[in-house]
Structure 1
């Protein structure tokens, strides 16, 4: 790549980051509208036309609030980890494949795995740095949940990698020109979708921030702009995981229905939050270790066996 291509790629990524931040703002409005209609009310509709300005008012409110400095927190880690959290949620968008421009590298799926595994450490450090019993309880539950579901999540993605025999994200779109992976691997799609809900701490698996049990969980001591950064990172992860699901199973970026699929997945995440009660924690762990792990492992063994039998002999 020459200097002009590098400059254009960086400029494109900056535009992408700005669009992601704007999307997070409107995702909160979209979610509140859906939850409002599920609960037979209107949702935000007063600020601006149909409540469109509401997310920006909430951002101004959060970042302009006074921050209370606690006495026994570990200051450096306490303030750095929310920034690292949102940085990790932005960097993971590097894997989005583009035929021309941006970054289209060969090991993009491996890079995505590395970024996803870093979330566990950030939850651990945030809960420890708060020096709070409630924060530590929420952090321990969060780490157990994220680590558990990452095992089956990686095995599911490995099944897809063995299907296309590449770590390149763009190959997922190429192999779905005539047949979506959804019709062949529907059980894996449902397992991956529910694992993403658990990974991003969304209902009905929001045990990291279970208000009734943990008083907001690991982020109990965070307020003002620090809480806003954690909140934004979570919603960026939702947008990214819905994008990943759409690329992996619903025809990829070549499909004419790509954006409709993407919007439907985002709607489904918010719809599930409005209609399902919170799961029990022991059942959450049972669901992963006794159901999703055997299913994903068997699918992986099947895909590897098919590849070895048809392509190696």
Structure 2
């Protein structure tokens, strides 16, 4: 009987895993469509219009096209590492989906160190980019890999410092506990009391995912496509999927750690009781979609930073602000205890 129960629970876990990954990949596909439409409108264009009604099937056409292309490996490349690099990026990015609670009780792996796990796996994903730059045996790719290493070294510290303050306030590294701690707090979320950390985290999240204005590892105007220069077909697609999945992971982390995840503040429910009937996952997705829109809006609005500006912002502004925010949080915890 126990074996049957274990098999049943294992089957449910497999089903949930497949469901989460399938939904994420669908989101990634249509985020590319939304991005092209929004940026098109920002630039007084229409964006995709030809494939399907209003271009809605453009992601499917792109998918078929990119997976139908020839997989070209440069003759001078270090072939084994060249092939493994995109898999490393994709694997260590998507594994973060397993520890994200989308709603109360809906989580694949409810780890006690969820925050630490995401920081660690996000750091490991960068090794794929560095290896891709080195293994391509191209100057453009190598420079892109070096930039990515320097960028992550700078902004990972700011990211960790801002999250350390959240962990101190919630007294837990568990994402479920952080959400519930926010729900039971005065404000209902940590974005207000942790306004400095919130700002630092949002900016660092753009750099962590190599998005504009911090897309220096790719930098088309200088490095052709940076670490992606020598990649094609499905290996290029793996990098692409990894980047957009990382955007959703960071947007989810912001929602969970600063905006209460799937919860709505108690005082809002008291004013508008009907909101309590809205499923938690709807609130969670709305918050995530807002930050995905922010990613796209910033890309359409801001120019790319120079590399020295990128490092100066990380080391001279964000990291000191992260330490200040952490110090203030420690003082508040000390004197309020």
The TM-score range, normalised by the shorter chain, is over 0.9
Q: TM-score, normalization: structure 2?
A: 0.88
Structure-to-structure mapping, 1:1-313, within 5 angstroms: 2-97=6-101, 98-100=103-105, 102-177=108-183, 178-255=187-264, 257-311=283-337
CA-CA distance at 1:260 after TM superposition:
2.3
* Conserved? CA contact 1:250–1:258, under 8 Å: no
Q: Note the residue ranges of structure 1 that are not aligned, 5 or more in a row.
A: none
* Conserved? CA contact 1:172–1:252, under 8 Å: no
CA-CA distance at 1:17 after TM superposition:
0.4
* Conserved? CA contact 2:197–2:322, under 8 Å: yes
CA-CA distance at 1:125 after TM superposition:
0.9
Query: How many residues of Structure 1 are paired with residues of Structure 2 in the alignment?
Result: 311
Q: Distance in 1 between matches of 2:322 and 2:244?
A: 26
Question: Greater CA deviation, 68-77 or 150-159?
Answer: 68-77
CA-CA distance at 1:305 after TM superposition:
3.0
Deviations 1:186-223 (A, max 9, x none): 22211111111011111111101001111111111111
* Conserved? CA contact 1:9–1:103, under 8 Å: no
Q: Distance in 2 between matches of 1:99 and 1:251?
A: 12
Q: RMSD over aligned Cα, in angstroms?
A: 1.5
> Relative to 1, partners in 2 of residues 1:123 and 1:238: Cα closer, same or farther, differing over 3 Å?
same
